[in-house]
Each structure stands twice: as C-alpha cells, then as structure tokens.
Chain A
Amino acid sequence: MRNLILKDLVLHKKFLAVISLLWIAYMGFFGSRIHSARTFFLFSMVMSSMIPFMIFTREEKSKALAVTCSLPVSRRQIVLARYVLCWLLTLAIEVLMTGAVLLFPGSKQESSDLLKPNMFIFALAMMTAILSILMPLLIRFGMAAIFVVLIGAQVLGIIVLSFRLFLKNIFVAVKSVVAFLSAGAGDPGRLMLFLIVICLVNLASIKCSELLFRRKDV
C-alpha cells in the first residue's frame, strides 16, 4: 500500500504542489474574510477533499489505471491506498488551509473558534460524508459520477429548500444530532461514540468500493 501511495505522490507531485498552493492561498483569503468557523470548514473540507479526487481523475484521463492494476498489488490494496491517500492529503491540506486563514492579514477568524473540539468533529464528519459517498462512485464510474452527484446534490438542495415546511421533522432530527455531537464535544464517551461511527461509515464505504472495484473492467 505504501508503494501505491508513493506512486501517486511521485507521479502527481507537480500538480499537487501547484493546486495545493493555489487552493490554500484562496481558502486562506476567503476563510479570513468570514466570521463563521463552521462555514470555513464546510467550504475548505469540500475543496481539500477534491484534490485527491483530481489525482484519480488524472489517472482516469491518462487511462493509466490498467498499469496500476497490472502491478503486483491486489484490487483491495488499490482501494485501501486510495482511501488512505485521500485522508492524508485532505487532512494535510486542511491543516495548511486553517493555518493560512489564521495567518492571513486582517483575518476575522479566531484561533479559539477554529481549533475548538466541536469544529474538529465537524470537520471529520464532513470529510467522512464526502469521502464515503463519493469514493465508491468515483472508483466505479469515474469522475462523471462525481459531477452527477454534485449536480444532484444541488438539485436536491433546491428541492429540500422548496419543501422545507414538509421536511421540518427531518431538519429537527438533523439539528438535534448536530447539537448532541456539539454539546458532547468535551465528553470522552460521546467523542468515542462519534469516532466509532466515523470509522464504521468509512469501513462500510471501503467495503463498498472494494466490491465495486473488483467488478470493474479496466
């Protein structure tokens, strides 16, 4: 698995360096202009998680997946390596983006807000949601699936907002879950429960991706 991760880092090093710098600078500026730490994490998590997806898309565009699958690794190892790379890159870029926001001249963000445990939980939850939903689709259907999901999410958002009165109960339920997690950020029991849920969701996503990738002809 280490070799697979290194392979992607070596082959995409220039792209990674350029896109990461650009996005860190952009989010550093954008994040420093807003007050809400939650909004910052919402946007920055979406942006930073897209970077590893771009790497996989570049591989798809070059049709180089056949070479990866011809190397002495199993399909399971390829999937696992992709998840690990996603987590490592997303977390690393997220940390750099957060640092950039705090260091940006005239930043409206406070370190005490950004580095709160509930923000950490929120960021992890965002990352899990993005990766666990998009990775199986990306692995099976490529970047086209990501676009379909992103457009679908926007359409869904419009529909949900249009029918918000009918969906009130769902909103209330989601809010109470978020409140429960936020309130329990300092509670080790709830934190543990949350981390277990995160792990289970990721494991389910990995399993799903494995099954899909095993069926994929490259």
Chain B
Amino acid sequence: MNNAVEIRGLRKEYKGFTLRDVSFTLPRGFIMGLIGPNGAGKTTVIKLILNLIRRNAGDIKVFGLDAIKREAEIKARIGFVHETPRFIEDATLKDIKSAIAPFYAKWDEKLFGSLIEEFSLPLDKKFKKLSHGMKMKFQIALALSHDADLLLMDEPTSGLDPVFRRELLERLSGLIQNEQKAVLFSTHITSDLERTADYITLINDGEIVFSLPKDVIKEKWGIVKGARELLAEKSRSLFKGIRETDFGFEALIDDIPAARKNFDSGVVIERASIEDIMIFMDKGGDRA
C-alpha cells in the first residue's frame, strides 16, 4: 500500500458548520500541507483521521487500514501534535514521558533524550509552567520519538520561533527521505508550505478547494492583472476569484496556458503564491 492516508467523501456536521465531501490522498514519502482560513475545517480533518470525533459519512484509510476498525494498530504508527498541547497540567514532563512511552513498541529513549536536549526542555518542570512554544516542542519531541510512519500535526509551527520553525521543517523533510513515511500538517503560515510541502490541500468553509502537488500549483496557478475593459464574460469563467477596483482587476486562475491563450498582451500574468491563492479563495476576491 503506497498511500499513507486516503480520505473519501468525508463529512462531519456541527451546528453552524459542515465539513463536506472531503477527499484526498497522501502518498508515502511526501509531506502534505493542509491550509485554509480559521474555521475552515483543518483541525476537524485531523481529528477525524485520529478518530477523536465521529464522522457522519465517508471513509478514512491509513496505510490501507480502516481508521476505526484498526484504530489501535494505526495509531501505533502515528505521531500526533495537537493544535493546543494538552497534558495533565501539574504533571512534570518526565512523568508525562513515562506515561506515554510504554504505549509505543518502537519508543526510542535515546532519541527522546537527544531531542529534549536539543529543544532545551526541562524534564523536571511541570507542564503548566511551560510557554506555548515549549509545550509545542515537547509534543513534537514525543511525536518524533517512536519512529512514527505518519506524522499528523495540527499547526505545529504556531508559537515557535523562526529558527526552530526552520529546523523543524528541515527535520520533517529529512524524515520522509526513505519514502516510507509521510507528514500531514496544517498551518496558516504559507511560507512553511513553500519550503517543505510536496502536496497542498486547501480547505475553505468545510470544502476542499484543491488537493494538488505543489509543483502543479506553482506551474499552473497564476494571477491575471489588467484593465477592466479587458474583462469579458467568457474570460470570467476562467477565474477562481476576482478583485475589481476602479483601476483594473486582479484574478486568480488555475490554468496559466489557457489564460495566455484567452487574453491578449494587454494583461500581466504572474505565478500565484500559496498566500495569493488563500486570499483569493477566502474573502479577498469576489468570486467570479
């Protein structure tokens, strides 16, 4: 089985929010970034994979195994990092480690020790005494210490300083080199994705906008800029999002070659960054 995660038709209903028909695949040996605005459903997707919340419909397979039927077996191969680190507040890091480590057959005490040292974490300190960044580092150390085949990380870089963030992303890139492991992480920080992700899944208002290799996005997605007079009804159908001002328009497209054919030399077409795409897909642009 070459896929680390396969999700088909996933649905979760809350009051006032529904995650609708979410489908994507993360192959082994790759890093996928899950992006989207606040409340888009990123954490819900990660919680559903971990079976922390009940789905209303759909299938989740991890390493080809059903995420509910083979729950314990699958979770033994998952390293998780939650958005908000939560452990018993007045337990020391040492006690938390002692409580967590026996669950994992592949727990590597030596690696944990070196990560703790590298991250400058005080093992005798109570969890509640740590800053958010330190708590996150501790979670990351736990997730990395049992040779997990899949890392599921919900906003792992939030609260981390830029130096550590860069080091973490490099470490994640190093992990997948043997092509057996995979990483799925959600983030708001688009520069993290530009640097690390192989696949990008954009989720907005509970729906997947796209789930594509980053190279395809870089190659095909762009921003068209031009005067308003150049806008024609037929060209609007090419746009994923558009922003119009008195001076002209800016539009997001997902097929640069098609846009080049459609527009004459009066427009400028630039490659879209992930941030551009996020902004257009969220509320920065009126939908075409």
A binding-site residues for B, Cβ under 8 Å: 3, 6-7, 10-15, 58-59, 61-64, 66-67, 69-75, 77, 214-215, 217-218
Selected from B50, B71, B91, the residue in CB contact (under 8 A) with A74 is B71
B68, chain A: closest CB distance, angstroms? 9
A33, chain B: closest CB distance, angstroms? 34
What's the Cα separation between A58 and B127 when bound, in Å? Answer: 14
- Some 8 contacts from A to B, beta carbons below 8 A apart, are A10-B98, A12-B88, A15-B90, A70-B52, A70-B78, A72-B72, A72-B73, A214-B54
Please give, as numbers and ranges, the residues of chain B lying within 8 Å of A73 by CB-CB distance: 72, 75, 103
- Chain B residue nearest in CB terms to A15: B90
What's the Cα separation between A62 and B84 when bound, in Å? Answer: 11
Q: Does B76 sit at the interface, judged by CB under 8 A?
A: yes
What's the Cα separation between A67 and B88 when bound, in Å? Answer: 10
Q: Determine if B88 and A62 form an interchain contact, defined as CB atoms under 8 angstroms apart.
A: yes
Q: Does B99 sit at the interface, judged by CB under 8 A?
A: yes
Q: Determine if A70 and B88 form an interchain contact, defined as CB atoms under 8 angstroms apart.
A: no
What's the Cα separation between A217 and B50 when bound, in Å? Answer: 11
Q: Does B87 sit at the interface, judged by CB under 8 A?
A: yes
A3-B102, A11-B91 given; A69·B50 CB < 8 A: yes
Q: Does B82 sit at the interface, judged by CB under 8 A?
A: yes
Please give, as numbers and ranges, the residues of chain B lying within 8 Å of A6 by CB-CB distance: 99, 102
What's the Cα separation between A6 and B102 when bound, in Å? Answer: 9
Selected from B50, B84, B96, B99, the residue in CB contact (under 8 A) with A70 is B50
What is the count of residue pairs linking A and B with beta-carbon distances less than 8 angstroms? 79
Q: Determine if A11 and B88 form an interchain contact, defined as CB atoms under 8 angstroms apart.
A: yes
A7-B99, A13-B95 given; A67·B87 CB < 8 A: yes
Please give, as numbers and ranges, the residues of chain A lying within 8 Å of B89 by CB-CB distance: 61-62
Q: Determine if B103 and A71 form an interchain contact, defined as CB atoms under 8 angstroms apart.
A: yes
A51, chain B: closest CB distance, angstroms? 16
Please give, as numbers and ranges, the residues of chain A lying within 8 Å of B86 by CB-CB distance: 62-64, 66-67
B18, chain A: closest CB distance, angstroms? 14
Contact with A along B231-274 (1 / 0, CB 8 A): 00000000000000000000000000000000000000000000
Q: Does B1 sit at the interface, judged by CB under 8 A?
A: no
What's the Cα separation between A217 and B52 when bound, in Å? Answer: 6
Q: Determine if B95 and A11 form an interchain contact, defined as CB atoms under 8 angstroms apart.
A: yes
A2, chain B: closest CB distance, angstroms? 8
What's the Cα separation between A58 and B89 when bound, in Å? Answer: 9
Q: Determine if A72 and B103 form an interchain contact, defined as CB atoms under 8 angstroms apart.
A: yes
B binding-site residues for A, Cβ under 8 Å: 47, 50-54, 71-76, 78, 80, 82, 84, 86-91, 95-96, 98-100, 102-104
Selected from B52, B72, B74, B99, the residue in CB contact (under 8 A) with A66 is B52
Main SS of the interface on chain A?
A: helix
Please give, as numbers and ranges, the residues of chain B lying within 8 Å of A67 by CB-CB distance: 82, 86-87, 100
Known contacts A59-B88, A63-B86, then 9 further A-B pairs from the complex at CB < 8 Å, ordered by chain A residue: A6-B102, A11-B99, A62-B88, A64-B87, A64-B88, A70-B52, A70-B78, A71-B103, A72-B74
Please give, as numbers and ranges, the residues of chain A lying within 8 Å of B99 by CB-CB distance: 6-7, 10-11
A215-B54, A217-B53 given; A70·B100 CB < 8 A: no
What's the Cα separation between A156 and B84 when bound, in Å? Answer: 41
Q: Determine if B88 and A58 form an interchain contact, defined as CB atoms under 8 angstroms apart.
A: yes
What's the Cα separation between A12 and B98 when bound, in Å? Answer: 12
Q: Determine if A74 and B80 form an interchain contact, defined as CB atoms under 8 angstroms apart.
A: no
What's the Cα separation between A28 and B86 when bound, in Å? Answer: 37
Please give, as numbers and ranges, the residues of chain A lying within 8 Å of B102 by CB-CB distance: 3, 6-7
Q: Determine if A72 and B76 form an interchain contact, defined as CB atoms under 8 angstroms apart.
A: yes
Please give, as numbers and ranges, the residues of chain A lying within 8 Å of B100 by CB-CB distance: 7, 67, 71
A12-B88, A215-B54, A217-B53 given; A72·B75 CB < 8 A: yes
Please give, as numbers and ranges, the residues of chain B lying within 8 Å of A15 by CB-CB distance: 90
What's the Cα separation between A12 and B95 when bound, in Å? Answer: 9
Q: Determine if A217 and B54 form an interchain contact, defined as CB atoms under 8 angstroms apart.
A: yes
Please give, as numbers and ranges, the residues of chain A lying within 8 Å of B54 by CB-CB distance: 214-215, 217
What's the Cα separation between A72 and B76 when bound, in Å? Answer: 5
Please give, as numbers and ranges, the residues of chain A lying within 8 Å of B87 by CB-CB distance: 11, 62, 64, 67
What's the Cα separation between A28 and B141 when bound, in Å? Answer: 45
B278, chain A: closest CB distance, angstroms? 27
Please give, as numbers and ranges, the residues of chain A lying within 8 Å of B71 by CB-CB distance: 74-75
